[in-house]
Amino acid sequence: MFQKRAVFLFIFLLFSILSYAQEDKTVIPLKNILNLITSQHDVRFNYIEDEIIVYAIVSPNKKWSLEQKIKYLKKQTNLQFKLVSQKYYSIYNDKKLDKPLCGFLLDYETGKPIENALLTIEGTTNTTFTDADGHFKLPKVSSNNIKIQHPSYNSITLNPKELYVVDCPKFKLQAIIQSLDEVITQRYIATGISKKNDGTIQIKPKKFGILPGLIEPDVLQTMQQVPGIISVDEAISNINVRGGTHDQNLFLWNGMRIFQTGHFFGLISAFNPSLSQEITISKNGSSAFFGESVSSLVTISSRSNTIEETHSSLSSNLISAEFFSKIKLSDKANVTVAGRRSLTDFFSSPTYKNYSNRIFQNTIITDLNDNQIINYNNDVDFYFYDASLQYQQKIGTKNELNIDFLVIENSLDFNQTVSNLSENSKLTQQNFGSTFRWKTNWNKNNFTEITAYLSQYDLQSNNKSIENDQILSQRNKVLDYSLKIKSSNKLSSSFTLNSGYQFNETGVTNFDEINLPIFSRTITNVLLTHAGIVEGIYEPESKKTLITAGLRANYFDKFGTFLFEPRLQFNQSITPSVRLEILAEQKSQTLSQIIDLQQDFLGVEKRRWTLANNNTIPIQKSNQFSIGFNFKKNNWLITLDNFYKKITGITTSSQGFQNQFELEKSVGDYQVFGTEFLIQKSFNQFYTWLSYSYNDNKYDFNQLTNFNFPNNFEVTHAISWAGIYEWKQVKFALGTKWHTGRPITTPVNNFVTQTNPKIVYNSPNNSKLEDYFQVNFSASKKWNLSNTIKLETAVSVLNLLNTKNSINRFYRVNSANNSVESVDTFSLEMTPNFNVRLSF
């Protein structure tokens, strides 16, 4: 009995002591403490509200003298207490901190800024979000703690006096391990690139590190670092994903389809790197909400989720200059203006000359007899630009409006002069569009999104021949309207159901006119497409499983045809380090690019868009399946994907043949078996990766041959390596690319008959070009000139060893001696570039 009472008494005393200690340690605002001292000792305190409002401390012992209490307050707050008279004290901060509370949030492991973290002054309505640099500002309104929250990081609480210092302090947040399970890795190939569990690759340019040969996060150059994505001729207007052609990739900017993806006729991305917020690349298993691509999907978003503070940037390199400015109009609205223009018509840098030599070789711009480049300073006027305008408006607490405009243009104007004769030829290429989005978040589990866009592409050329006064005018125009409605409903903590509808009206016009002999042709086709979409997503809270299954039902009004396209994404955690990934899809495409003649549109942009007619140009259809594994442990990352892909409904005109099939019109298909492998290891500031791709890519044109033969875009083996070092604000990258040469068709012999000269070819794509090899280098450095002004410089060298790679070869008849000669197109020479960017 005595023991029970003793235990009870001990527990009672313990709780009493703890309660007393807890009560004794309770902090209260400094202002309240000063009021208590005023009443206890009959004194007065003079102070500026902003200088004391952030302090909350434990109240001093009531039994202390006034001097003891003042000394205690000075020690706890570092404020100065000056006795003005017997009963009056002046309180001030001798550091003159006339600024709001501020700081920076950084990732604990990488030191990278954390964007869109929510900061709340507890007990008030004062909130803010961190910007792209991880910076935040809060008003001095309370001594209450500041709570910091982010979906991917552990929440922390700060005392406001921690922010009340001369410089904005830096705070590091620990990433939530469970949230990181939603991605395979946060650093995939480069900082700012991640691989997600749904099989997509996500790029965030504002967090982008560095890659060999790049001075800024060029969207289409960056995606070529991903295994399975390559350009057989170095041009970003000819990106081949798992053996497909460039037009089989769907590019969307803020939901709007883009038909012109490159500047400099294919060497530079048409998307301003200062503008992009997030880029997502899907090689397979794309969402059912996307159609019109039988190869890959690339979505580019330049929208932010929050109303950001006003910030701007200016930058320039040896090719172009660009600007970007996001202006905060109010707490619920902002406008973004961005633009870029080439400097090529102002001065000719070595970078520009090398790009010119690469893109204009073997075109009408060059002399095909000896393939010498014309003097561009005197004869060619070339420039490009892109510009965008975006408006974002939060309406109430549930609605958001986005309206965006984009224009992209290339312009080439050149003169041919022989003796006293002179002729002028022109080529312009433009993509203009506007997109509208209205999103309503009904509650945390349901939202509706309405998107509409207009996209217009226009390619025009006027070629005047100096030899015979012949004038060839050509035009390719695409007009695309779209309306999409999406509804998302989270039915439980693990299951989400999405449904929607999409309408597209696409019109294509092709125009050709010759004055000698007189000939004119205009062909216009229009196609209306309706699509119903349903998609279910299952992902339990453990994040060990992700299943997305969708169905897209397309109806093509002109053909009275239905096409059903199932989609699947399956990702399962097998062990804490290993995940299984299965992706599958069926897709279709009605809009494609063809080549009538290799010298159309001056031989520079020879591809023209055309619509399927369900006869000579069928609807292209794809079937794709892949299975892979992802391993991540101890800073090692290994990914392995095996895939099968078959595309039906392709035409010879869309494949760019330059052999016996160049003028043939036939329909066929191709199928690809492939493997993609990546191994990556991180060592603190240094990391390195090696990737390998294998493709077995074969055509089947039954009307032309009775056997399969290699695809024009087959790259059997491709290897890439990079070593990257990032230390604070300094970054270095060195990398190599090697791949087997693309297939070519060789002549049977090197001579032709005198009558009706014609090349006799071997079997199609019987040989290959020499292997391709290139070494690239990049370096960058950032300077923080002040809390708000930053300077970044970057330098790159493409083809560091100046390797001469043949990237294309075709054969022609030399009428002077009735022989067959080969014409090679060579890769870019060693090309330096330099970029400087000022952000403020």
pLDDT digits (tens, 9 = 90+) for 38-91: 888 888 888 777 677 777 788 888 888 888 888 888 888 778 888 877 788 888
pLDDT at 374 over 50: no
Q: How far is CA 221 from CA 121, 294, 353, 823, in A?
A: 43, 21, 20, 27
750 compared with 95, residue with greater pLDDT:
750
Asked which of 71-80, 223-232, 240-249, 640-649 is least confident by mean pLDDT, the reply is 71-80
pLDDT at 15 over 60: no
Token pair in block for residue 635: 């800073």
N-terminal to C-terminal alpha carbon distance within the chain: 76
| Mean local confidence (pLDDT), 302-307 | 86
CA distance linking residue 266 with residue 363, whole number of Å: 14
pLDDT at 17 over 50: no
User: pLDDT category, 424, cuts 50, 70, 90?
Assistant: confident
pLDDT at 656 over 70: yes
pLDDT at 8: 42
pLDDT at 501 over 90: yes
662 compared with 180, residue with greater pLDDT:
662
| Mean local confidence (pLDDT), 478-500 | 96
CA distance linking residue 542 with residue 573, whole number of Å: 10
CA distance linking residue 188 with residue 196, whole number of Å: 10
User: pLDDT category, 566, cuts 50, 70, 90?
Assistant: very high
Asked which of 109-123, 170-184, 391-405 is least confident by mean pLDDT, the reply is 170-184
Instruction: Look up residue 536 and give its amino acid.
Output: G
| Mean local confidence (pLDDT), 681-687 | 88
Q: How many CB atoms lie within 10 A of CB 670?
A: 24
Helix (H) or strand (E) holding 85: strand 80-85
Yes or no: say if 130 and 148 are a contact pair by the CB < 8 Å rule.
no
Residue percentage of the chain with pLDDT more than 70: 92
Place of tokens 């191994």: 679
pLDDT at 375: 43
Phi first, then psi: what are they for 753, rounded to 5°?
A: -75, 155
User: pLDDT category, 178, cuts 50, 70, 90?
Assistant: very low
pLDDT at 378: 45
Tens digit of each residue's pLDDT (9 = 90 or more) over 574-633 = 999 999 999 999 999 999 999 988 888 888 888 999 999 999 999 999 999 999 999 999
CA distance linking residue 738 with residue 733, whole number of Å: 17
Token pair in block for residue 625: 């399946």
Q: Is the dihedral of CA 59, 64, 65, 68 positive or negative?
A: negative
| Mean local confidence (pLDDT), 657-671 | 93
Yes or no: say if 182 and 195 are a contact pair by the CB < 8 Å rule.
no
| Mean local confidence (pLDDT), 831-840 | 94
* DSSP character string of 696-761: EEEEE-TTT-SS-EE-TT---EEEEEEEEEEETTEEEEEEEEEEPPPEE--BSSSB--SSS--PPB
> Exposure string (b/e) for 530-555, b if CB count within 10 Å is 16 or more?
ebebebbbebeeebeebbbbbebebe
Yes or no: say if 804 and 827 are a contact pair by the CB < 8 Å rule.
yes
CA distance linking residue 447 with residue 305, whole number of Å: 15
Yes or no: say if 827 and 769 are a contact pair by the CB < 8 Å rule.
no
Nearest to 744 by CA among 634, 645, 658: 658
pLDDT at 9 over 60: no
Yes or no: say if 413 and 252 are a contact pair by the CB < 8 Å rule.
no
pLDDT at 151 over 80: no
Token pair in block for residue 234: 């170095």
Nearest to 253 by CA among 228, 231, 275, 284: 275
pLDDT at 2 over 50: no
pLDDT at 140 over 60: yes
pLDDT at 185: 65
pLDDT at 402 over 80: yes
pLDDT at 213: 93
Tens digit of each residue's pLDDT (9 = 90 or more) over 434-447 = 999 999 999 889 99
Q: Is 836 left (phi over 0), alpha (psi -120 to 50) or beta?
A: beta
Nearest to 587 by CA among 539, 631, 550: 550
pLDDT at 103 over 50: yes
Q: Is 143 exposed, middle or buried (0-12, 13-18, 19+ CB in 10 A)?
A: buried
pLDDT at 421: 66
Q: Say how far residue 714 (Cα) sits from the centre of its chain.
A: 26
Q: Go through the domains of the chain in sequence order and give each one's CATH number.
A: 20-92 (3.55.50.30), 101-179 (2.60.40.1120), 296-839 (2.40.170.20)
150 compared with 616, residue with greater pLDDT:
616
CA distance linking residue 795 with residue 777, whole number of Å: 8
Asked which of 174-183, 361-370, 422-431, 586-595 is least confident by mean pLDDT, the reply is 174-183
Place of tokens 């633009």: 339
Asked which of 140-149, 333-342, 416-425 is least confident by mean pLDDT, the reply is 416-425
Collapsed DSSP state (helix, strand, coil) of residue 344: coil
| Mean local confidence (pLDDT), 147-157 | 83
CA distance linking residue 764 with residue 602, whole number of Å: 27
Over 44-74, what HEC string results? EEECCHHHHCCCEEECCCCCCCHHHHHHHHH
Asked which of 60-69, 228-237, 518-527, 693-702 is least confident by mean pLDDT, the reply is 60-69
Collapsed DSSP state (helix, strand, coil) of residue 16: helix
pLDDT at 418: 62
pLDDT at 382: 86
Yes or no: say if 274 and 315 are a contact pair by the CB < 8 Å rule.
yes
Collapsed DSSP state (helix, strand, coil) of residue 297: strand
pLDDT at 571: 96
Please report how many Cα atoms fall inside a 13 Å half-sphere around the Cα of residue 58, on the Cβ side.
10
pLDDT at 376: 39
Q: Which residues pair with 695 in a beta bridge?
A: 674
* DSSP character string of 136-204: EEE----SS-EEEEETTEEEEEE-GGGT-SSSPPEEEEPBPHHHHTTEEEEEESEEEEEEETTS-EEE-
Q: How far is CA 157 from CA 30, 105, 119, 146, in A?
A: 19, 13, 9, 6
CA distance linking residue 252 with residue 645, whole number of Å: 23
Interacting residues of 4 by C-beta distance below 8 A, sequence separation 6+: none
Place of tokens 């100096």: 466
pLDDT at 372: 45
Question: How high does pLDDT run on average in the chain?
Answer: 87
CA distance linking residue 39 with residue 27, whole number of Å: 19
CA distance linking residue 197 with residue 293, whole number of Å: 22
User: Of 199-213, 214-228, 698-712, where does the model show the most confidence?
Assistant: 698-712
Q: Is 87 exposed, middle or buried (0-12, 13-18, 19+ CB in 10 A)?
A: exposed
Q: Say how far residue 683 (Cα) sits from the centre of its chain.
A: 26
Yes or no: say if 136 and 130 are a contact pair by the CB < 8 Å rule.
yes
Specify the pTM. Answer: 0.80
Yes or no: say if 805 and 827 are a contact pair by the CB < 8 Å rule.
yes
CA distance linking residue 823 with residue 508, whole number of Å: 33
Tens digit of each residue's pLDDT (9 = 90 or more) over 511-532 = 999 988 889 999 999 999 999 9
Nearest to 30 by CA among 15, 5, 47, 43: 47
User: pLDDT category, 419, cuts 50, 70, 90?
Assistant: low
Over 355-379, what HEC string results? HHHHHHCCCCCEECCCCEECCHHHH
CA distance linking residue 770 with residue 149, whole number of Å: 55
Place of tokens 């008849």: 813
> Exposure string (b/e) for 233-266, b if CB count within 10 Å is 16 or more?
bbbbbbbbbbbbbbbbbbbbbbbbbbbbbbbbbb
User: Of 55-59, 185-189, 618-622, 824-828, where does the model show the most confidence?
Assistant: 618-622
Interacting residues of 776 by C-beta distance below 8 A, sequence separation 6+: 212, 213, 733, 734, 735, 736, 737, 796, 797, 798, 799, 800
